[in-house]
Structure 1
Amino acid sequence: MPHVTARPEVRIAVAYLIVASVWIIWSDRILQSVMPGNSTFIQSFKGLNFVITTAILLFFTLRRAYRGWRRAEQEQVELLSEVSEAFRHLSTRVESLREADRTRISRELHDQLGQGLTGLKLDLRWIENRIEVREDRRLNPVTDRLVEAQDQVDSLIASVQRISTDLRPDALDNLGLPDALKEEGERFLLRTGVICNVRVDEASADIPAEVTTAAFRIFQEALTNITRHAEATRVDVGCGIQSDQLELVISDDGKGIDPAMIQDTKSLGLLGMRERAGLLGGELTIAPGENGGTVVEARLPLIRKES
């Protein structure tokens, strides 16, 4: 039969009963032998003795209980910290793999599909030239179809280039963050007609790759939110290095953001921007602008803080 250990509260109750009983009986006998005739004082002392004994035992009981609670709370805090750190490393790894996949797909689209479409366009042009040399009017419909096919190929090439750039801009890897931000601002202007003024400290070109990627993705998501919700006519972007941090500030002159939306857990875009900053040990703030609109500010440390 397995050994059954009494619960802590049972052991404490039994110990209290034994100690309190022995102490009260022993002290009463001593007092009665010293003062046998003073019954009123003896009764008062008995009550006071009981209160003092109970208070002392309660003190030690609570101290032991609170010590256990504090220890359990500390262990829980340490466990949560370890889990949080493991989750942060996992999220960083997942984001790195996702960015690597985007880069690979972007290059394959550009190098393989893009080049294949360009080769197809050249072949169609070669056929068109050969037909035109023959000067046979019966081939005019064929020539027209070839021209239409070339236009379709041009459209496909433009789509491939756009998708490739959306996945991973070449400027981000080849020219650095300043040129990538400016290029994205120009693409935003072409898509939306909204002026995007980008001012970048040239020193921002020499920063770690993960910081470059996070800053660029935050910029992309901010422009997406402006397009969808802000109804802005102008966007101003500032990027520079201050105190070993990359500071990226994006402000617009739109209708502003609802304060309730800033902490809305259903806003995946805002959550994604905060997550990108947090994975690098940085922070991201979103607030209404002084003169209207919305200001997004990201501060990303250039040197990762060790936990």
Structure 2
Amino acid sequence: MAFQRTVDFFASQPVRVSAVLRVPLIVLILVLVSVWEVDHWLPEVYAVIIGVYAVAAVVWLVVVLRGPMPRWVEWASTAVDVLVLVALCAVSGGATAALLPVFFLLPISIAFQDRPVLTALLGAATAVGYLVVWIFYSKRDDNVGLPNVVYMHVGFLVWLAVATTALSLVLVRRSARVRWLLEVRRRLVSESARADDIRNAELAEHLHDGPLQTLLAARLDLDEIRERIPDPALDRVRAALQETAAGLRSTVTELHPQVLAQLGLAAAVRELLRQYENRDVVVTADIEDVGQPESQALLYRAARELLANVNKHARATEVSVGLHRKGDRIVLVVADDGAGFDPARVTTSVASGHIGLASLQVRVEANDGTMDIDTWPGSGTRVTVTL
């Protein structure tokens, strides 16, 4: 799961891929500069440019790995790469061998941005620019001609421009397909959840107006009989009726909590936590009044599912529940000091029929939310749901 989160993190913004690829590219240039003798026009300026570029690339990598970046950053970072390439060519006097990796790898780094037109333009400009600086270099020095290998390199660069453009087109189409499939999944899960809510509401109404009312009427009739004919057997029957009625009320509340519709999410979660007051678990609550957000039904279901998992599997002695609003998002946190588990079991348990957490995660993600599970065997569990 940690590996999957890493993959998703890099896939979410192509600028991260470019930032990672840029560092080894600069290292390669530095190695080649140190190995080959380069005929610099301005060697001090060349060293300053490549040094500042290397430091900036490392700092930039740290920045982009810390969080999401605006879309325009991709254009800006590519523009800086091109400017640095032009500056290095200018101060070195031409297309030196130490700059060859930049010409070949720059189009590849831009291909990950899912912008075919930009990829094609940059690829073509790289091929033309490489030929131009070699012509300029050969004209500047009469002892240096225009080697035939330059034309081969230009041909490779043109092919690379076509290949990276095709790659970018494929990535764009696949990304569109993935987005469409995710939207279809979101709609299906949303419709399924809506159907479940309607069914639960109908079932709760049926239980409340049918069997529960029948039990309550039977208990009243039994109370009248007990007043006339005291009998311990009748007391036991009344206790059984009372327990069954309480169980039905609890079921009706779970199926369709009225407090959720009437008082909001915070009150509903507090009511849910009261069920744990008489158990051997210390419950700590930090619940903020978040009103009645559109996602309150799913958040309530998440709190109920997570607390049920703690009760059934965690063997915990302490449970903490937090509910807060952060901007336009609601954050629910349920943590315990129990047994914990291997996060990989969330997916593998589906095959064995245990779909609670996996189903909840699908519902949360389908509603444009996130569900982060931080756990390990013996270290407790912390689940954060953001909607």
TM-score, reference length from structure 2: 0.53
Q: Indicate how the Cα distance of structure 1 residues 67 and 293 shifts in structure 2: closer, same or farther if over 3 A, else same.
A: closer
- Alignment match of 2:180 (pick from 82, 98, 122): 82
Q: Which runs of 5+ in 2 are unaligned?
A: 1-147
Match of residue 246 from structure 1: 330
Q: Is 1:296 aligned to 2:383, yes or no?
A: yes
Match of residue 255 from structure 1: 339
**Amino acid in the other structure paired with 1:207:** Q
How far is 1:85 from its partner? 0.6
Give, in whole Å, the separation in 1 of the partners of 2:240 and 2:210. 18
2:276 is paired with a residue whose SS is helix
- Alignment match of 2:269 (pick from 177, 181, 198): 181
Number of matched pairs:
236
Q: Contact 1:185/1:197 (CA < 8 Å) preserved in 2?
A: no
How far is 1:244 from its partner? 1.5
- Alignment match of 1:118 (pick from 183, 199, 216): 216
Deviation track 1:94-148 (CA, whole Å, cap 9, x = no partner) reads 101101211221232123322221111112222333x44xxxxxxx7xx455444
Q: Is 1:168 aligned to 2:256, yes or no?
A: yes
For the aligned residue pairs, the C-alpha RMSD in angstroms reads 3.3
Please list, as runs of the form range in 1=range in 2, the aligned pairs for 1:124-143 lying within 5 A after superposition: 124-129=222-227, 131-132=228-229, 143=231
Q: Is 1:196 aligned to 2:283, yes or no?
A: yes
Deviation track 1:75-100 (CA, whole Å, cap 9, x = no partner) reads 34323322221121111011011012
1:101 is paired with a residue whose SS is helix
Q: Please say which structure displays the higher CA radius of gyration.
A: 1
Give, in whole Å, the separation in 1 of the partners of 2:169 and 2:322. 48
Q: Which runs of 5+ in 1 are unaligned?
A: 1-47, 133-139, 301-307
Give, in whole Å, the separation in 2 of the partners of 1:102 and 1:241. 28
How far is 1:160 from its partner? 0.8
Match of residue 207 from structure 1: 292
TM-score, reference length from structure 1: 0.65
Q: Indicate how the Cα distance of structure 1 residues 87 and 194 shifts in structure 2: closer, same or farther if over 3 A, else same.
A: same
How far is 1:152 from its partner? 2.6
Q: Indicate how the Cα distance of structure 1 residues 68 and 170 shifts in structure 2: closer, same or farther if over 3 A, else same.
A: same
Q: Contact 2:185/2:366 (CA < 8 Å) preserved in 1?
A: no
- Alignment match of 2:366 (pick from 260, 279, 286): 279
Give, in whole Å, the separation in 1 of the partners of 2:262 and 2:283. 22
Q: Contact 1:250/1:297 (CA < 8 Å) preserved in 2?
A: yes
Deviation track 1:143-196 (CA, whole Å, cap 9, x = no partner) reads 455444323321221221122122222221222211211111121333x42122
Match of residue 16 from structure 1: none
Deviation track 1:240-296 (CA, whole Å, cap 9, x = no partner) reads 11122111111112233334435646362221232232122111111149x942211
Residue identity over aligned pairs, in percent, reads 25
